[in-house]
Amino acid sequence: MRARFVLIILILLGSTAGLAACGTTEEEPGPAPAAKVVGYFAGWGVYARDFQVKDLDTSGAAGRLTHLLYAFGKINNGRCAAADRWADYEKPIAAAGSVDGVADQAGATLRGNIGQLRKLKEKHPGLRVLWSFGGWTGSKGFTEAARDPDAFAASCHDLLTDPRWSGVFDGIDVDWEYPNACGLTCDKSGPDALTRVLGSLRSAFGPDSVITAAVPADVAKLTVADYRTAADSANWLSAMTYDYSGAGGQAAVQKTAPHSPLTAYPGIPRENANTSATVDELLRLGVPSGKVLLGIGFYGRGWTGVSTAEPGGDASGPAAGRHEKGLEDYHVLSRRCPPTGIVAGTAYAFCGSQWWSYDTPETIKAKMAYARGKALGGAFVWELSGDTPQAELLTAVSDGLAAAPR
């Protein structure tokens, strides 16, 4: 009797296998796409910061990035153009500063950062490189570009496929601050302007190129442009979830506050000025979670004239920074003013009369756990020169995204 029972079970198992082979059972879902680890490389960093393309290789950053965004190109008369010819492709790179240890030859067609990006891609063939256009000080030109997006897109395609650097760039990033809203200048191109620009870029570059856009963290700004439709033409949208607070303005007394909180917290200056609120709004608008990248700043925002360790204390103004008031790179702050507390998922530091907020490897890993929990497409960082020589912050990003879901 027992033998007959086993035989029946085997027959049933065989029938199930046969049904599967005939395609009548549901297929199990495939693995989720690998998370994107994206970093901006600022072309001007080769000057005062002395951060070279080679540093991406020696630090290990290039091996952890999936995409590198070269910032910034400019928009001139509604057309894409190089912003700094000398740094971009004319500056001769000596052997000591070259990715492959070989100096640029005199009179070579391609030198500078883009020449080094070619060498970096040869050494890291899985790395994809995009040219980013715009930025905080360079977004004014998008208003004119949006008047004739097809001509703009054609000019960008011509620039990125220039024979001198053909094959270096795998796509383009639009850092428009901000469509149909105010940044350093105000734009009134309409809610569909970004959609039209990205759509024209997709048509010009084709389906295999990477087309991306940086989008604001301010929830109010997310409601005045059609980011859901814009996402249709983009591989992803990079949510700039930092700079929610910072020293500045005309107020005689200012209050300290973390510039990149993950969540709201008691005493937050603006209720929706946090990463979770930004992400939730993008998802509410209908942007697919897999097309949203979480933004991480590799720098801190700081105040001086502070006497209170916790956030919300009075300050007299921005703290001194090497390149800009109220701003300093992580690799400097981590030594000079190490963290003294955590608030809303980000770190802060009180040292002397200064108060700084910034992310650390520990807070970044927690933010990456949040990104995984929301099924986001990955994370991006602004910008890579702020990291340590061992790429500690980028390591936290890539390791945090690769961790098994909780």
User: Active-site residues: which are they?
Assistant: 177
Would you call 165 helix, strand, or coil by DSSP? helix
As a whole number of angstroms, the distance between CA 353 and CA 52 comes to 33
CB atoms inside a 10 Å sphere around CB 176: 31
Report the Cα–Cα distance between both ends of the chain, in Å, rounded.
Answer: 46
Q: What per-residue string of b and e applies to 332-345 under the rule 16 or more CB within 10 Å gives b?
A: ebbeebebeeebbb
Contacts of 156 (CB under 8 A, 6+ apart): 79, 80, 133, 172, 201, 204, 205
Structure tokens at 219: 């929830």
Alpha helices (H) along 241-376:
275-284, 330-336, 361-373
Integer Cα distance of 266 and 263 in angstroms: 10
Whole-angstrom distance, CA of residue 264 vs CA of residue 244: 11
| Pairing status of strand 346-351 against strand 341-343 | antiparallel
Q: Which residues contact 14 (CB under 8 A, 6 or more apart)?
A: none
Task: Name residue, tokens 């740094």.
Answer: 87
**Dist. CA 54–CA 169, nearest whole Å:** 17
Q: For residue 266, how many C-alpha atoms fall within 13 Å in the half-sphere facing its CB?
A: 1
Residues 160, 168: Cα–Cα separation, whole Å: 8
